Amino acid sequence: MRLENLPSEFQKALPILEKIKSAGYEAYFVGGSVRDALLDRPIHDVDIASSSYPQETKAIFDRTVDIGIEHGTVLVLDQGGEYEVTTFRTEDVYVDYRRPSSVNFVRSLEEDLKRRDFTVNAFALDENAQIIDKFNGLADLDKKLLRAVGKAEERFNEDALRIMRGLRFSASLDFDIEATTFKAMQTHAPLLEKISIERSFIEFDKLLTAPHWKKGLQAFKDSQAYLYLPDLENSQADWDEFCTSYEDGVTFSSSEQAWAALIIALKVKAVKPFLKKWKTSVQFQKTVESLVTIYRYRQDQEHGLRQLYQYGRDLIEVAEDLRQYQGQSVDFEKIAELDAALTIHDKHDIVVNGGMLMAELGLKPGPELGKILSQVEWAIVDGQLANEKEAIFDFIAKQK
């Protein structure tokens, strides 16, 4: 099969293939970029596989960087871009269900493609836009089916993260998982405990933010992968409710919003400790916790000036979106009105500060000063005090 319309990303990189071939080696575009071109999806990274060994690749180009040379990958700086060129390789025994103990460079494209995870990721594309399909991936692509290359048990035993990748692909591509492949996922799901949580987080995060996250989440539940990920072992009863509570066609706008939705559905009480087990950043934890708090507050009562001031309009609206996704009543107009009514949006907007109060009113540093500043701040937020120097000094005088 020939790709009729070669995407511009490949066209730009064609000279790389041609240089390698003119030096006497084979070279192809490989992997997810080829799949995405066949599906008419946006292409992100263009990967190149070659029969040239790393040192041979480096000899072909003037500018290269050794970014993973022990695994056969050389970064080529050419044609105004950066391209990863990886030598055809086979892999030795996997010692930790994630990484091979060693890799062996080979000259055979087919041997290289055999080690790929799924048939729809095992395509190669030559300089003439001809698709090389060694494992009937085109038929699986046509059927929207995700099937492991070769023996599924071997693929997941080699690298258990492929289970999470498969679930993620199901969610992003809207593909079903072939029965034998899915059974192997279920069988090998316990191996996810041996995978670094950072890598599992990345794949699960991509699943949650994918267009067809409900499909991916259903497979995630049915595979019982959740049993082997942090604080999800008792969540079985919540997955169906999570999916059904959101209207079809909903796609979360950010990772933070998606994880807030997950935490709400799982009825997690301590948000930060939960996210800490997933090795997320402090800022991520803070944002998600705020979204969950805003959402839960809004379930019982309307927002006021204090909520808008404390969390900001953007976060309030992201949390309100979650209500809208669930078909609940929303009031974005009121949020806008409250935001407009705020005379300050940050304590630094206040026309006086601690230094001024100490200098002009003779106040001493310490807890009492902090208490006075807090009273001033909230009085301004509540609309009870004008953000003016004289008014603030009068307010402080009355508090004494």
Residues sharing a CB contact under 8 Å with residue 165, sequence separation 6 or more, in sequence order: 117, 203
162 is in an annotated binding site: yes
Residues sharing a CB contact under 8 Å with residue 41, sequence separation 6 or more, in sequence order: none
Q: Could you give the CA distance from residue 396 to residue 394 in angstroms, rounded to a whole number?
A: 5
155 is in an annotated binding site: no
Q: Is the dihedral of CA 331, 210, 97, 154 positive or negative?
A: positive
Q: What is the DSSP string of 183-199?
A: HHHHHHGGGGGGS-HHH
174 is in an annotated binding site: no
| Amino acid identity at 128 | N
Residues sharing a CB contact under 8 Å with residue 279, sequence separation 6 or more, in sequence order: 197, 198, 201
321 is in an annotated binding site: no
159 is in an annotated binding site: yes
346 is in an annotated binding site: no
Give the residue among 126, 137, 120 at the shortest CA–CA distance from 31. 120
H-state helical runs in 189-304: 197-208, 213-223, 239-244, 255-265, 271-277, 282-300
45 is in an annotated binding site: yes
47 is in an annotated binding site: yes
296 is in an annotated binding site: no
Residue stretches of the annotated binding site for CTP: 32, 35, 116, 159, 162, 165, 168
Binding residues: 32, 35, 45, 47, 116, 159, 162, 165, 168
- Residue ranges of the annotated binding site for Mg(2+) are 45, 47
Q: Which residues are annotated as a binding site for ATP?
A: 32, 35, 116, 159, 162, 165, 168
